[in-house]
Amino acid sequence: MKHLMTAWLLGCLLLASQLAQANLTIEITRGSDRATPIAIVPFADGDDLPQDIAQIVSDDLQRSGYFEPLERRAMFERPSSSEEVRYGDWSALDVRYLVAGRISREGDNYNIRYELMNISGERRMLGETVTSGGQGLRDAAHYISDQVFEAITDIRGAFSTRIAYVTSSGIGPDTQYALHVSDADGRNSQQILSSDEPIMSPAWSPDGGKLAYVSFETERPAIYIQDLSSGRRVRATSFEGLNSAPAWSPDGRRLAMALSKDGQPEIYVMDIAARDVRRVTNDASIDTEPAWSPDGRSLLFTSDRSGGPQIYRLELGSGEEERLTFTGNYNARARFAPDGEGIFLIHRGNSGYQVAHQDLDSGRLVALTDIGHAESPSVAPNGTMVIFATQQGGNGVLGGISADGRASFRLPAARGDVREPAWSPFLN
C-alpha cells in the first residue's frame, strides 16, 4: 500500500509540474480610442537580460486602456535618459509622454534607472533607480508601470498585483481541476491545489496572504482557507448542503458565504476566529453570491425572490434589504467598485451574459462586454479594470475590460478551460 501511495504521489507531482507551466498569454483585443499616446523606449544595455523591461511596461500600460504605446519601429531615436530626449522630435510623433531608462549590472543584481518625461511640457516627471535580482525583473517592470501610471493618471497602479483562477481539463470522470495564482498579466503562474473534483470561487483575503475557496475533494462541497506562503490550510465549513461563495470582509475577520444547511441557500457571515456562523438573510428563495461593500457595512447578494435572479443589498446593522437591479430578468454575482459608488455584475442582455456596470446613484446599468458567456467579474483594486471569464473557440479563457468598457484583452491558456478569476488586493 505504501508503494501504491508513493506511486500516486509521484504521479501527482509529475502532473503538478506539467500544469504549473500553464502561463496565460495576453492578447489585446481592443485598444481604447481615448488612450494617451506614450513611448516606452527599450532600455539601454537591456538586450542580454532575461526579460524585456520596456516591453513589460508597455504591455501593462496598453492593457490598462489608458495608454497607447508607440510601436518600436516608429522610434527613430532611442534616448536612455532625460538629457538625451529631443522633445520636438517626439512631439512630432504625437507622443505625450516618454519613458526611457538604462540597465547596469552590479554582481547578481540589476540596477534599472528609468525616467518619465512629459513631452509637451518638455520636463521630467519622475526618475528613480530600481534594484532587482534576475528573478525579480518582471516585478521590477510592474513596479515601474505602477509609478508611471500613477504619475500621469493620479490613480494608483495595480500592475504589481496577482490573480487567482481555476482551470479544468478533460470531460466526465477524468476531469482535472486546479487552482492557480499568477501575476496580473497571467505570467509566473503557480498551481496551489489540484483535484479530480471541482474547485470553485477563489476569494482573496484583504491582506493578499490567503485564499478562501470551495473544493469538492471529499465529494461534498466545503470551504477551505489556504495560506499562500506556507501552503497550510484549514477547512472552514463543511455543513450539510451547499458550502459556497466565500467572501472576505474588508477587515479580514469575517467570511460571508452561502449555505443551504437550513433549507434553501441563504447568506451567512462567519467569524473566522470563533468559527461561528450567523444567518443574515431569511426568505424562501435562493440567496447566494455575497460581496462586501468597501466599508464592510453592507453585502450585495443575488436572490431569485422576485422570480429570476436580481441583485440586492443588505445593511448588516439594520437588516434592511433593498433591490438594486431592475434592468432585464437576469442580474447576478455583483461586486462593488473599490469606491463603493457602482457595482459590476453579470447581466443577461440581447447578446447573452455580459459584464455590466450599474451606477448606484442613478441606477443606470451599462453593458461593458459585447460577447455572451461572460462570468465571474472581478475588479482590480484600483477600480480601472475588470477581469472575467468568457469563451473562445469552445474553451474557457479570461477576459479583461477597462471599467469604461473601451479597452479589452484576453488571457487564454495553452490548453484546457480557465475561469473564475479573482483579482488580488494591492500587495505592496
Binding to other proteins in span 33-62, by CB under 8 A: none
CB of 80 to other proteins, least distance (A): 41
Q: Which parts of 123-182 interact with other proteins (CB under 8 A)?
A: 171-173, 175
**Region from 104-112, 218-226, 320-328, 403-411 binding other proteins, contact rule CB under 8 A:** 218-226
Instruction: Note whether 169 and 175 are within 8 A (CB).
Output: yes
- 8 Å CB contact between 116 and 148: yes
| Minimum separation from the CB atom of position 241 to other proteins (A) | 7
In the complex, least distance from residue 324 CB atom to other proteins, rounded to whole angstroms: 16
Any contact of residue 424 with other proteins (CB under 8 A)? Answer: no
Footprint on residues 260-279 left by other proteins (CB under 8 A): 260, 264-265, 275
Q: Which range binds other proteins by CB under 8 A, 33-41, 71-79, 281-289, 405-413?
A: 281-289
Q: Are 356 and 341 in contact (CB under 8 A)?
A: no
Question: Which one, 42 or 372, has the nearer CB to other proteins?
Answer: 372
Asked whether position 355 contacts other proteins by CB under 8 A, the answer is: no
Identify the residue among 4, 74, 284, 414 touching other proteins (CB under 8 A). Answer: 4
Task: Supply the DSSP string of 30-41, one letter for each residue.
Answer: E--TTPEEEEEP
Strand pairing category for 331-336 and 321-323: unpaired
CA dist., res. 357 & res. 235, Å (int): 34
Q: Of the candidates 120, 190, 282, 306, which one interacts with other proteins according to CB under 8 A?
A: 190
Binding window for other proteins (CB under 8 A); candidates: 2-10, 29-37, 86-94, 147-155: 2-10
Assign 160 to helix, strand or coil.
coil
CB of 308 to other proteins, least distance (A): 8
Kindly provide the b/e burial profile for residues 371-402, where b requires at least 16 CB atoms within 10 angstroms of the residue's own CB: bebbbbbbbbbbbbbbbbbbbbeeebbbbbbb
Q: How far is CA 75 from CA 22, 42, 370, 410, in A?
A: 34, 10, 35, 27
Strand partners, 178: 167, 194
CB of 259 to other proteins, least distance (A): 11
| Interacting residues with other proteins between 285 and 314 (CB under 8 A) | 286, 288-289, 302, 304, 309
